[in-house]
A and B are shown apart, each in its own frame.
Chain A
Amino acid sequence: MIGAILVVAAAVSSPDPGVAAYLSAEGIEVAKVAKVPKRADDRAWSHAAVHEVLAHPQRTMRLPDKTANAHLLRAPTPVQVRALHDGTSLSVKLTWPDDTETRPVADAASFGDAAAMELPVTFGRGVRLPYIGMGDAGQNVLVYLLRTAKDGSYGREYTGAGFGSLTRTNVGGFYGDITYSPAQKMWQAVFVRRLTSHGHTIARGAVPVAFAVWNGALHERGGNKALTSWKTLHLQGLNDDAAYLKELSFGYGEGEYGDPAAGKAMVESMCIACHHVGDKALVPAELAPSLQSVGGIATYRYLYDSITNPNQILVPNPNKNRHHQVGGPQDPYGALPHNPGFSWSVDMGGGKTNSKMPPFALPKEQVLNMVAYLKPRPEK
């Protein structure tokens, strides 16, 4: 209830109706309190707005685990997000349902539940968001991972520049904990980050953020997880830069959201030539990134740019050794080359890499229709 009131309050105070609509749908209001809570059961959380986001099973790329992949078609996980700041630190609490408290035991086939928060390394007006899946070569991310252990939990910090690139780092100023409530069958994770640590600052009014949760009982780990699209933390009392908010809210402004029904035919006749779309597949998996749950993990801006200017954000190619060119030239020991058909980008020489997808020079209205079909509202 408090959450709804706060969201409405924020919407009213914002002069731009597109920004207001965006913040209402994808913004997380971060109220300022005297001291941010570190524990999930802290009373201070009653001051936080509740914003529900959906975490979708990762299907852009495929990992080769039979058990985990048996659950790829499951419904997205609803994650409640609460966030507070005190001018020095940000505290984010995630709450999501999980019937089983899965902590790892000393066995190869045992995977623990976990949660993560992703932040862009650089952000602000004129800076595009990193690729949602661990960032990309041009825009790196910081990832805060909370893993359950046999007893308790532990946190890890990583930087990422695309699939497979996560590297441990220590920006510092991070505290986290993850606890299970057997009564409610809910996990609660708290991420506390100093607003400024080692020169990296999130002390701004609008901070892009994304979340992921792992269900260990389903053998989820690494890329087998459920993730959200980029959302925006809206920190009370800090400069939220109206122009940046306007950029982030693309898709919610006047004339920025098309007709999903009109986009359907175009997506299903064009995109489907290389991508898996919905439950439709004409080509082998992973010829191109799968679009099966893209609406749940991508922003409107990302989808629009990916159609009109695919070279702007290259989805990093996962391990190319997963596809051999059968019948290709073997080395003396039988090693086969990669199948170039499954490379998502082309090396243009001179350090330049282009997306294999051509730019589509379509009228804006048609692109918006396709984007609306890929990411319909409300999110489901």
Chain B
Amino acid sequence: MSTRQLAMVMDLNKCIGCQTCTVSCKTQWTNRDGREYMYWNNVETKPGKGYPARWEEMGGGFDETGALRDGEVPSKYTDYGVPWDYNLDDIMRGEALEAQQKLKQGPNWDEDQGAGDHPNSYLFYLPRICNHCSNPGCLAACPRGAIFKRDQDGIVLVDQKRCEGLRYCIAGCPYKKVYFNPKRFKSEKCIFCFPRIEKGLPPACAQQCVGRIRFVGFLDDVDSQVHKLVHKYKVALPLHQEYGTQPNVFYVPPLPGPPKFDKNGKPIEGSERIPVSYLEELFGPETKNALKTLQAEMDKRKKTGKSELMDLLIAYKHEEMFRIETPRPKPQVAHGGDGLVQIVKRKVPA
């Protein structure tokens, strides 16, 4: 659908859940004008309901016949959470800290809960932005053809002039990464920081990532880190590829972690703390091979001191995580489907 495709790879083994990405995105784009409740970038704890709560059960995406599936539109009261404040003035007078409303839901509501019982509990962090899919569910769902993929980099955008706030895109996106701005009555979403991309800079979330987990580049650029991780080593996998939208954000799955403990507190050799079956639910059947490659390259590095993959993932220099040639921005109009959009000229009888 696009001539080129920008992609992001996130190495989940390095994500510490610090939310610096979330904050950098929020201060850049979503702290104002009806976007206060939105998190174009969020970091959720897996296993967990995520943000918006139970997004994985809300439908959208495509079924096995290639048809768009029905989906739900989340609510801020039950799924996103209503932004709240604390009684910060009162605590200066010795009162206990309290939220100014009854809290029912919020972003990262189930932070650090994970799954499993002590001492074998487990969790990992999953940062999520718009996947800028090759077959976007949002684009397919929009009855007005207001959503388009930029030809020069595959960034998926909502044409704010065509958008009428109908929110079918939110139903159609299986990742629930399109948001409704009630103040502007428009749908809005992660724009992959395209104004930064056009200046050769990575998105704010990637630039600010203290764990250096995010790689950004073009998938057809064989020298890019994203190409090597996705296509050469095949250690970076799309999230829920069964949704049928061909995401362009890829994840290096977390290694299953330290062994589990038996009743006597002894490590069980060869056991997986994070069940690989769970990782496969998220990252698909290639997960096993990816984990095998990661382990083999770690071993190789230990023995020989050499591994291109390990060097890549360590990311000695932050700027080397990004390869963004400055694409020439071309003005473009929404195309959402052959001949779907016709700007109707006013036609009145003579």
Q: Which residues in A have some Cβ–Cβ distance to B below 8 Å? A: 63-67, 69, 104-110, 121-122, 137, 140, 159-167, 169, 171, 198-201, 219, 221-223, 284-286, 317-326, 331-336, 338-339
Contact = CB atoms under 8 A, between A and B. Distances in A.
Given A222-B164, A222-B166, A333-B248, 16 more contacts: A64-B69, A64-B70, A65-B73, A65-B171, A106-B182, A140-B344, A160-B344, A164-B341, A169-B344, A221-B167, A222-B168, A319-B145, A321-B135, A331-B134, A333-B5, A336-B66
B342 A161 contact: yes
Contact of A336 (B135, B170, B339): B135
Nearest to B172: A64
A104 B182 CA distance: 9
B143 A333 contact: no
A223 B143 contact: yes
A324 B75 contact: no
B258 interface: no
A320 B72 contact: no
B344 A199 contact: no
Contacts of A198: 348
Interface in B119-174: 134-136, 139-145, 154, 164, 166-168, 170-172
Contact of B182 (A107, A122, A222): A107
A164 B145 contact: yes
Given A200-B349, A221-B166, A64 B337 contact: no
Contacts of B64: 326
A199 B348 contact: yes
Contact of A65 (B145, B168, B220): B168
B246 A108 contact: no
B55 interface: no
A55 B71 CA distance: 25
B288 interface: no
A5 to B, nearest CB: 34
B80 to A, nearest CB: 7
25 contacts: A64-B71, A65-B71, A65-B73, A65-B171, A106-B182, A106-B183, A107-B182, A109-B74, A121-B349, A161-B344, A164-B145, A169-B344, A222-B164, A317-B339, A319-B337, A324-B62, A324-B67, A325-B66, A326-B66, A331-B1, A333-B154, A335-B1, A335-B2, A335-B135, A338-B337
Contacts of A159: 344, 346-347
Contacts of B179: 108
Given A65-B168, A65-B171, A333-B248, A201 B349 contact: yes
Given A107-B182, A324-B62, A67 B73 contact: yes
Contacts of B143: 63, 163-164, 222-223, 318-319
Contact of B219 (A107, A285, A333): A333
B77 interface: yes
A338 B344 contact: no
B135 A332 contact: no
Contacts of B338: 320, 338
Contact of B336 (A110, A321, A325): A321
Contacts of B139: 321
A333 B75 CA distance: 32
The binding surface of chain B is classed by DSSP as: loop
Given A321-B140, A335-B135, A109 B73 contact: yes
A248 B139 CA distance: 39
A104 B349 CA distance: 37
B36 to A, nearest CB: 10
Nearest to A342: B67
B340 interface: yes
A194 to B, nearest CB: 13
A284 B342 CA distance: 27
A121 B348 contact: yes
In the A-B complex, the 10 residue pairs with the closest CB atoms? A324-B66, A334-B246, A109-B75, A108-B180, A321-B140, A106-B182, A335-B134, A222-B166, A66-B70, A326-B66
Contacts of B1: 331, 333, 335
B77 A320 contact: no
Contacts of A322: 67-68, 140-141
B65 interface: yes
B62 to A, nearest CB: 6
B244 interface: yes
B340 A319 contact: yes
B14 interface: no
Contact of A165 (B65, B135, B342): B342
B71 A122 contact: no
Contacts of A323: 66-68
A200 B123 CA distance: 65
Contacts of A222: 143, 164, 166, 168
B119 to A, nearest CB: 41
Given A319-B336, A326-B66, A336-B66, A165 B341 contact: yes
Nearest to B338: A320
Nearest to B132: A333
B343 interface: yes
A219 B337 CA distance: 25
Given A65-B73, A200-B348, A322-B140, A339 B66 contact: yes
B316 to A, nearest CB: 29
B339 to A, nearest CB: 8
Contacts of B48: none
Contacts of A63: 141, 143, 168
Contacts of B329: none
A65 B75 CA distance: 14
Given A108-B182, A109-B73, A320-B337, A167 B344 contact: yes
Contact of A199 (B73, B154, B246, B349): B349
Contacts of B68: 64, 321-323
Contacts of A110: 75, 182
B217 interface: no
Given A332-B219, A339-B66, A169 B346 contact: yes
B47 interface: no
Contact of A320 (B135, B168, B340, B344): B340
A23 to B, nearest CB: 24
A3 to B, nearest CB: 31
A106 B165 CA distance: 12
A166 B143 CA distance: 10
